[in-house]
Amino acid sequence: MGAGEVVFRHMTESGFRRGLTGSRLWFAVMFVGIGARSIRRISRRREVLYRTVIRPGDRFEIISKPRPR
């Protein structure tokens, strides 16, 4: 877990606790925290088909085929 995630988690949890007591500002902070964490998670998702370690001297070929319709 990176430092950014810790900050977003803390911001979200604090916003939730203080927002429930009636603070609109902290309620808004909670939504900003949730939104930021969601965007980070969505942008991190990648489709990985194959992964291997490449060492000096190794060769590999990437072939791209169009998707069937």
Spell out the domain ranges in the chain.
3-44
Distance CA 21, CA 36 (A): 23
Q: Quick one: which of 33, 15, 14 has its CA closest to 24?
A: 15
What pTM does this model have?
Answer: 0.51
Query: CB of 9 within 8 A of CB of 40?
Result: no
The string of pLDDT tens digits covering residues 15-66 is 888 888 888 888 888 888 888 888 888 887 677 777 888 899 998 888 888 8
And the tokens for 30? 């909670």
